[in-house]
Amino acid sequence: MFTGRPTARWSAAGWLLAATLWGSAGGAQPAPDAGAEHDPLGVGDSPEVPDDSPTTPETTAPAATPDAPLPTRPHAVTGVTRPVRARMFGRSDDRAEHERLAAALRARRRRAPGDPEQLELPGIPDAWFFRPRVGGRARVFVYLHARGADPRENCARFAPVVTPRGWLVCPQGPGMRGDGHRVWNNNAALAHSYTMTALDALFRRFPRRVRRNDNVVMGFSEGAFVAMQTGLMEPVVFPRWLIFAAHDGYVGMNSELYPAARRALRRVYLLTGAGDGIVERTRRAAALMRRERLGRVELRILPGAGHQLPPDFAPVVRRALAWVTAIR
């Protein structure tokens, strides 16, 4: 065993000095190499929570061009750069926006008594409609307006006499005259398309309450022309007609459609004023339809009336609808 000078105990000051010297030697880091890749995690960065604190640039950055990419920042964990995205609105802003949209929807749905609802149709003018005051699967009454008429006003006028029997749907013509007035441009094919689109949209919205067939088509003046054409094209869907100011030319131009119409048409009511300039053509239309056996035809000429909807509107139309919708 080596014998020598015994070692004295270290004082507290010695221990402190030794610890200081050891920490200085062990914690020293070599200077980074000039060619080494920069570590994306800097001093003070956390691998779990990236540093999102804003920084103040020392110099003013040039304005970004519209096509410039978003600024990027290295991801704290993967080291992959990602766009810097800032949240512009908080949860309180989201709630306020939701309440605003809900209030706008409630205001749109609020209607004055007697105003029709709007049936949204893709790519064409929306149609107006009233719900029936009867339960179950109800019949649909489609009214096609006259040239230059307001479909919304017409729909509101027919609603009290139609809704006790079923739905009332009022499509709008493609041409506009201002202040809500519309025209069909004598385009029967377009009127037929608009009518069937409106009927399909109503059925999709209320599938358990809308009849697909055995409905009623109505029309006045130019609306009478397109209504009679639509009825001939769709005799199963519209086997019942109520036509104001009919004309034999409206029904006589499509004789190739008579065979199918002859099998399906049930009741046709023609209503015209005695002072109407086309009253004789209305009589010829009734005679033509009877001769061709196009349903059971009823003709009524109103004394004192001209080219117009019946002056004594409600009782006359109610009586006509009762006849048109009769089972036998």
pLDDT of residue 22: 62
pLDDT in tens, 112-151: 667 899 999 989 999 999 999 998 999 999 999 999 999 9
pLDDT of residue 89: 55
Q: Please, where are the H alpha helices in 27-147?
A: 91-109
Residue whose tokens read 């006028």: 157
- Residue 140: its H or E element: strand 139-144
Q: What is the CA radius of gyration of the chain?
A: 41
Residue ranges per structural domain of the chain: 115-324
Residue 69 identity: P
The secondary structure of residue 255, as a DSSP letter, is G
- CA 251 to CA 279: how far, in whole Å? 15
pLDDT of residue 194: 97
pLDDT of residue 273: 96
Centre a 10 Å sphere on the Cβ of residue 118 and count the other Cβ atoms it contains.
14
Highest CATH level, class, for 115-324: alpha beta
Residue numbers of the chain with a pLDDT score lower than 50: 1-4, 27-61, 64, 84-86
